[in-house]
């Protein structure tokens, strides 16, 4: 998929927010109460309203402005800056969140005589929260981090000698007890919420599962490349093809330099971080890096470099 097609698809994803918000506003403008509910209390009762015109104008202003910023970042993608993709994803989320909440509110208010009669379903809240993240992720995955291949990288040296056709596999893991304990504690903290505010308890429980799930990172090196996965089920999984790797090294991984723990994106590249300490760092042919915390990464780096060297040798 070339850059122009990626940019076009990313732009289509960005434009969903203003199009849906404007479309729903036009279709339901005569079927919702005025003023419309804009906030609900813990018990589900409406405790805030706003005139339909003012509500629509405010939402569309934010959505359109954020969408324009996202489109501007998309236009700059692939021109030597890794921040364009991150900026486009952030602006997409900023546009999609108010748009999805606006759409959910008007759909819930359709047919109601008064604002006080409107109840916002939990499913709508969950979807309005999740969809902006999905849109931002789609845009980010579509856009490249740099303008293309970086400077030529020499074939890396390795002490591992591989014969043509020889198949080898290396598997390693890294785990963090702190993340596991944090997930368990967060999960236990949701118990009182189930009896009072169960939607908040559900959201907190999902966060607890996510924190506990990423406490284990598994890396697998084979002749196809490097695969990194999370959790006891080794899912989700990210694969880096061998042809995209220029070199590998064992290095100390500092979570804060990569933006934190879990699956992270930074200007330098991507990382799977479970804890502070040794890890495998891949230098990709587009100039970006991919890092994964793993115990005893020296053997993995040697094997990756040997595989890259063999691929370069057989490709001549």
pLDDT at res. 257: 86
Q: Which of 3-12, 256-265, 296-305 has the lowest mean pLDDT?
A: 256-265
pLDDT at res. 250: 97
Locus of tokens 């080898």: 168
pLDDT one-digit tens code per residue, 69-85:
999 989 888 665 556 77
The answer to whether the beta carbons of residues 201 and 285 sit under 8 Å apart is no
Dist CA 125 CA 114 (whole Å): 20
pLDDT at res. 197: 66
Choose among 153, 141, 102, 151: nearest CA to 124.
102
Q: Residue ranges per domain, the chain?
A: 3-142, 170-176+215-315
User: First vs last Cα of the chain: how many Å apart?
Assistant: 25
Which of 154-158, 184-188, 197-201, 297-301 has maximum average pLDDT? 297-301
In this model, does residue 108 exceed pLDDT 90?
Answer: yes
DSSP H or E segment with residue 220: strand 216-222
Rounded percentage of the chain residues whose pLDDT exceeds 90: 59
Choose among 151, 2, 142: nearest CA to 73.
142
The answer to whether the beta carbons of residues 39 and 46 sit under 8 Å apart is yes
pLDDT at res. 193: 73
Could you tell me the pTM of the whole model?
Answer: 0.61
pLDDT at res. 147: 46
Tell me the pLDDT band of 118, cut-offs 50, 70 and 90.
Answer: very high
The per-residue pLDDT of the chain, averaged, comes to: 88
Average pLDDT over residues 297-312: 95
DSSP H or E segment with residue 289: strand 289-293
Going from the C-alpha of 244 to that of each of 15, 60, 165, the distances in angstroms are 31, 41, 19
According to DSSP, the β-strands at 269-273 and 289-293 are parallel
DSSP H or E segment with residue 10: helix 3-28
pLDDT one-digit tens code per residue, 213-264:
999 999 999 999 999 999 988 989 999 999 999 999 999 999 988 888 888 8
pLDDT at res. 78: 67
pLDDT at res. 145: 57
Dist CA 235 CA 140 (whole Å): 20
pLDDT one-digit tens code per residue, 7-18:
999 999 999 999
Dist CA 46 CA 35 (whole Å): 12
pLDDT one-digit tens code per residue, 156-198:
888 888 888 899 999 999 999 999 999 999 888 888 777 666 6
Q: Which residues contact 87 (CB under 8 A, 6 or more apart)?
A: 69, 70, 73
The answer to whether the beta carbons of residues 237 and 228 sit under 8 Å apart is yes
On whether the 170-176+215-315 domain is CATH 3.40.50.300, my answer is: no
Tell me the pLDDT band of 39, cut-offs 50, 70 and 90.
Answer: confident
């Amino acid at each position: 998929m070339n850059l122009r097609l990626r940019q076009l698809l990313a732009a289509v994803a960005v434009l969903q927010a203003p199009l849906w918000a404007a479309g729903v506003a036009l279709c339901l403008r005569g079927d919702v109460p005025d003023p419309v509910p804009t906030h609900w209390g813990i018990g589900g009762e409406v405790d805030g309203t706003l005139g339909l015109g003012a509500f629509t104008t405010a939402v569309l202003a934010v959505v359109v402005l954020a969408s324009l910023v996202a489109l501007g970042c998309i236009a700059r993608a692939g021109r030597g800056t890794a921040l364009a993709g991150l900026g486009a994803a952030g602006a997409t989320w900023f546009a999609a969140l108010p748009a999805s909440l606006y759409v959910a509110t008007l759909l819930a208010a359709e047919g109601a005589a008064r604002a006080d009669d409107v109840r916002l379903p939990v499913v709508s809240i969950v979807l309005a929260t999740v969809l902006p993240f999905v849109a931002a992720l789609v845009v980010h995955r579509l856009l490249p981090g740099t303008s293309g291949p970086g400077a030529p990288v020499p074939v890396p040296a390795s002490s591992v000698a591989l014969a043509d056709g020889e198949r080898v596999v290396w598997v390693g893991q890294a785990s963090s007890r702190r993340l596991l304990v944090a997930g368990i504690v967060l999960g236990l903290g949701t118990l009182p919420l189930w009896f009072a505010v169960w939607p908040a308890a559900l959201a907190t429980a999902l966060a607890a599962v996510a924190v506990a799930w990423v406490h284990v990172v598994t890396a697998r090196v084979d002749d196809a490349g490097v695969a990194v996965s999370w959790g006891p089920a080794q899912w989700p999984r990210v694969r880096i093809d061998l042809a995209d790797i220029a070199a590998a090294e064992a290095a100390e991984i500092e979570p804060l330099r990569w933006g934190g723990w879990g699956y992270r994106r930074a200007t330098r590249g991507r990382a799977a971080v479970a804890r502070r300490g040794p890890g495998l760092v891949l230098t990709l042919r587009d100039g970006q890096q991919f890092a994964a915390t793993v115990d005893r990464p020296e053997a993995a780096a040697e094997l990756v470099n040997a595989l890259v060297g063999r691929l370069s040798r057989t490709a001549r």
